[in-house]
Copies of this chain bind each other. A is one copy, B any other.
Amino acid sequence: MTSTTPTSASASKTTEDPRLDVAAVGEQLMGRWADARRVSRELATNPQLHKVEGMPVPEHRERTFQNMFELVKTGAVHRAFPSRLGGSDDNGGNIAAFEELVTADPSLQIKAGVQWGLFGSAVLHLGTKEHQDTLLPGIMDLSVPGAFAMTETGHGSDVASIGTTATYDPSTQEFVINTPFRAAWKDYLGNAALHATAATVFAQLITNGVNHGVHCFYVPIRDENRAFLPGIGGEDDGVKGGLNGIDNGRLHFDHVRIPRTSLLNRYGNVDEDGTYTSSIESPGRRFFTMLGTLVQGRVSLDGAAVAASKVALQIAVTYANQRRQFNAASDIEEEVIMDYQRHQRRLIPRIARTYAGAFSHEELLVAFDGVFSGEKDTEEGRQDLETLAAALKPTTTWDAMSTLQEAREACGGAGYLAENRFTGLHSDLDVYTTFEGDNNILLQLVGKRLLTDFSAQFKGAKPADLARYALRTGAEQILARTGLRALGQDAADTGSEKRTANYLKDPEVQRALLTERVEVAIGEIGRALASVAKASPAEQAAAFNSHQEELIQAAHMHARLLQWEAFTRGLESVKDADSLKVLTWVRDLFALTTIEDELDWFLMNGRLSVQRARTLKEYVNRLITRLRPHAQDLVDAFGYTQAHLRAPISSGAEQIRQDEAAEYYRHLRADPESPVDERVLVKRRRAEAKAARR
């Protein structure tokens, strides 16, 4: 999108304000898998599936488990499985539907994710057709509840270093699964404390004296009475900060023997005699290929986080448009709290972020479906998908936490009541920031990919090219750091705020600023690391570490750029002119608050002059004022009903209370018998005294 967006038109003062087409924008937000989403939203209105705040942990666990059968019954969780087994080979639709369950109970969502998205997916993606045909039916109908036993107490982020071993014994054609020390206990596994009767266990595969790295094994762990099988033990992880409908637990294995065929051997096989073979020669690439099949966890958390942000904002904005507090401008009527600048600043940029998150998630989902449907399943496609997921999941899960917290505080004491949803969603979604890949580690992965792309530019470059590049960069740096580059901006603007505002709302300018933020930072880090390329590993590690913070921040800004691009592409599909106008302001607000958060960088790197930076801040305020009348429409377009929101403060009860109170005071003012306010008497006395003195 460039010329199609009437950004310049939107700045001209219109006599009539545009109005968002809530239904049409809502439909666009539902995305390609709108039908699956709608079915899931309908399902999520079932009170039996709803989280009951304050329910004791054992009851919540049992309720969640029972509700899983409801998901099976309604066919809510089989979309991704093969048609031949009763699924519908619909990867995108499966994730879309899954995400919407967050409004019912995040515990139900994540417990379902463990069973069908992790445990089932491991069999589906790491096993062969035989594994699928024999194991998936029981997994799909929940007759075999399972755990996904990857993480250990000692290793979460660094999966390659897990300690559990699976040693092949050719004499019996069995693998021996063993936990060699306490830190190698499997830990934090959903379903492991109570319900799982089997597990997909990740372990170091050892055969013929060689460790071939981490592979996945299907291991029965409990008998029909839910007692551990011989050699297997475990512990309950106990109460968690949230998601207490899920029975997380630990598992350990004391030389547990499983048949050779229990290795999920799609990417690596052990023959009867113990010979290891794999279609992927490089052990590193093999490991990442196996892990890559599980990217859907990250994809779905990105979407669930956006859904939770939508719920929070729909509740908080609705309340803020009804709630009144303080007589700021009139003695008679208190102000609606949404009219306070601070309140707008707290909520409206978060609406913009949530739209950006929704548009970028939809693109992620399309990319995911492309790879997993096989349509676009290339090595590059997979890598891009993984990078995209690794960039977006941290960004939206952190946004959700920040939005839920701000929304809760924006509703004061009422926001702290569990019935109003914020606190429960915050507690449940908290762990989304560290599971399925710790957010910081994921962003570091993105940063490393950006560094690789950066250095790929110079692959095969001649020394002269490199020298020229260094020279150009050096000159650019001097220009930027001295502020000379930015001074040129002021000359171009000739002090005109309007000209600067026009500059800032030009999408190409926004794109350039957001892109430069990433590229300049990556270039600086890349050059710094290149300068120690021949140093010792320890020195290289130290150099990398000294740029870790910058690298993660650059990756985060890369995610914002991706979100901005998705938002901007999303605008191309908006048909209604009014809606386009409003959503373009939202996109501009997203871009400019993102830049504002990093304004020091843009100033220090000469990307914005002081004058432009000042105008940016003023323009952000203006955009927020402009969007304030559209806040309700914008959150209504998220499309959740009272059956999803279930927050008394956004039910309309506040408006009824306000109307009743206003009516009472109207009567009081009209009644000559009403008490007089002492402050009025004081004023009157003073006026009389003054008159008497004259």
Enumerate chain A interface residues (CB-CB to B < 8 A): 53-54, 56-57, 151, 153-158, 161, 163, 167, 180-184, 187-188, 206, 209-213, 237-242, 244, 282-284, 325-330, 334, 339-342, 345, 401, 405, 408-409, 412-413, 415-419, 422-424, 426-427, 430-431, 433-435, 438-440, 444, 481-483, 487, 537-538, 541-542, 544-549, 552, 596, 599-600, 603-604, 606, 610-611, 613-614, 621, 656-658, 660-661, 664, 673, 675-679, 681-682
Contact = CB atoms under 8 A, between A and B. Distances in A.
A342 B600 contact: no
Contact of A417 (B238, B284, B329, B334): B238
A240 B418 contact: yes
B342 A419 contact: no
A596 B417 CA distance: 36
A310 B440 CA distance: 24
B419 A433 contact: no
Contacts of A422: 241
20 contacts: A56-B56, A154-B658, A167-B675, A180-B664, A188-B413, A239-B418, A240-B416, A240-B423, A241-B423, A242-B416, A282-B682, A329-B537, A329-B538, A339-B545, A341-B547, A408-B430, A409-B433, A413-B431, A413-B435, A603-B610
Given A184-B661, A209-B676, A678-B210, A417 B483 contact: no
A682 B54 contact: no
A51 to B, nearest CB: 11
Contact of A416 (B431, B600, B614, B658): B431
Nearest to A286: B678
A417 B431 CA distance: 10
Contact of A681 (B210, B416, B657): B210
A603 B161 CA distance: 46
Contacts of A155: 325
A325 B158 contact: yes
Contact of A434 (B209, B413, B427): B413
Given A345-B549, A413-B434, A481-B610, 16 more contacts: A151-B413, A163-B664, A181-B661, A188-B416, A211-B676, A240-B418, A242-B416, A328-B545, A329-B542, A342-B549, A409-B433, A416-B434, A483-B483, A596-B600, A604-B610, A606-B610
B241 A329 contact: no
A637 B114 CA distance: 42
B430 A416 contact: yes
8 A-B pairs with the lowest CB-CB distances in the bound complex, closest first: A241-B423, A54-B239, A329-B541, A599-B600, A239-B418, A341-B548, A183-B657, A188-B413
A239 B53 contact: yes
Nearest to A667: B180
Given A210-B676, A604-B610, A675-B211, A545 B413 contact: no
A405 B433 CA distance: 11
Contact of A658 (B183, B241, B604): B183
Contacts of A334: 158, 161
A677 B211 contact: yes
A423 B427 contact: yes
Chain B CB within 10 Å, residue with most, of A325, A330, A596: A325
B439 A341 contact: no
Nearest to A487: B483
Contacts of A660: 181-183
B161 A327 contact: yes
A181 B658 CA distance: 10
A327 B212 CA distance: 19
A158 B604 contact: no
A161 B329 CA distance: 15
Contacts of A151: 413
A213 B53 CA distance: 39
A57 to B, nearest CB: 5
Given A418-B239, A431-B413, A675-B211, A325 B157 contact: yes
A284 to B, nearest CB: 7
A678 B613 contact: no
Nearest to A157: B325
B657 A541 contact: no
A657 B180 contact: no
B54 A664 contact: no
A301 to B, nearest CB: 14
A673 B167 CA distance: 13
Contact of A238 (B54, B212, B329): B54
A237 B409 contact: no
B210 A675 contact: yes
A183 B426 CA distance: 28
Contacts of A329: 537-538, 541-542
Contacts of A239: 53-54, 417-419
Contacts of A439: 409
A524 B163 CA distance: 62
B613 A600 contact: yes
Q: Which of A244, A283, A538, A545 has the most chain B CB within a 10 Å cutoff?
A: A545
A341 B525 CA distance: 14
A678 to B, nearest CB: 5
A391 to B, nearest CB: 16
A237 B549 CA distance: 44
Contacts of A157: 325-326, 412
Contacts of A212: 678
A161 B188 CA distance: 50
A401 B402 CA distance: 11
Nearest to A542: B329
A670 to B, nearest CB: 15
A238 B56 contact: no
A542 B341 CA distance: 10
Contacts of A213: 677-679
B610 A483 contact: yes
A188 to B, nearest CB: 4
A326 B158 contact: yes
A283 B679 contact: yes
Given A604-B613, A610-B483, A657-B153, A546 B325 contact: no
A430 B435 contact: no
Contact of A154 (B156, B424, B606, B661): B661
Contacts of A658: 154, 183
